Amino acid sequence: MESATTPYARQHREAEKIIDESGIQFPFLRPNDFMQNFVNFYTPTIKTNNAFYIPGGDAKVSFVDVRDVAAVAAKVLTEHDESESRHFGKAYNITGPKPLSYYQAAEILSNTAGKKINYVNIPEADARRGMRAMGMNESFINTALELFDNYRKGYASRVSDAVESITGNKPISFAQFAMDYAGAFR
């Protein structure tokens, strides 16, 4: 998402610049959208309506499992050479193994959960109203809508090799995630 130009992306980059200029030894981890967001945000409507509703259009996103993010974090924070971590001063974009559309994600979830789950692409105005009705604040709503706009522009479709090159393991696939969390979608 480093090429995105939204206020959200700029805030992240500004925070990175402050850390970079501070002299603190650091690695930056830049994970893509989390697979677990399907559990954390979409399961209520999946369970009640067999659908999730977002303004994602036909966007493809290289969703990443938080377990892979944790594995990368553990490695970059604990791997040291003679004088310091070989990861300090570096930034890693962390993605899943391949970009998927929300339609493809719904199909994978359907196959795993044993029921038809639909992705419903909704207009931003409907998403805004729905998030307000759920009690979300305007700042969060604006950030979420900025992210979906970036996704529709293709910023989240890139794939990196960070998980495999750092941990030695292939990133967890969306199908594996769906199997591991199948109970959340039934």
Structural domains of the chain in order of their starting residue, each with its CATH number: 32-65+94-185 (3.90.25.10)
Q: What is the DSSP letter of 85?
A: B
Q: What distance in Å separates the CA atoms of residue 155 and residue 79, rounded to the nearest whole number?
A: 30
Predicted pLDDT of residue 179: 98
> How many angstroms from the chain centroid is the CA of residue 146?
14
Predicted pLDDT of residue 84: 59
pLDDT tens per residue across span 108-138: 999 999 999 999 999 999 999 999 998 999 9
pLDDT above 90 covers what percent of the chain?
75
pTM: 0.89
pLDDT tens per residue across span 69-121: 999 999 998 876 655 567 888 889 999 999 999 999 999 999 999 999 999 99
Task: Considering only residues 1 and 143, tell me which one the structure prediction assigns the higher pLDDT.
Answer: 143
Predicted pLDDT of residue 144: 92
Average pLDDT value for residue range 133-157: 93
Residue 56 predicted with pLDDT over 90: yes
Predicted pLDDT of residue 3: 53
Strand pairing category for 90-94 and 60-61: unpaired
Average pLDDT value for residue range 4-10: 68
Asked whether the beta carbons of 170 and 78 are under 8 A apart, the reply is no
Predicted pLDDT of residue 1: 43
For residue 2, what pLDDT band results from cuts at 50, 70 and 90?
very low
Predicted pLDDT of residue 83: 54
Q: Who contacts 119 (Cβ-Cβ below 8 Å, separation ≥6)?
A: 51, 52, 54, 56, 101, 102, 103, 105, 106
Predicted pLDDT of residue 24: 82
For residue 177, what pLDDT band results from cuts at 50, 70 and 90?
very high
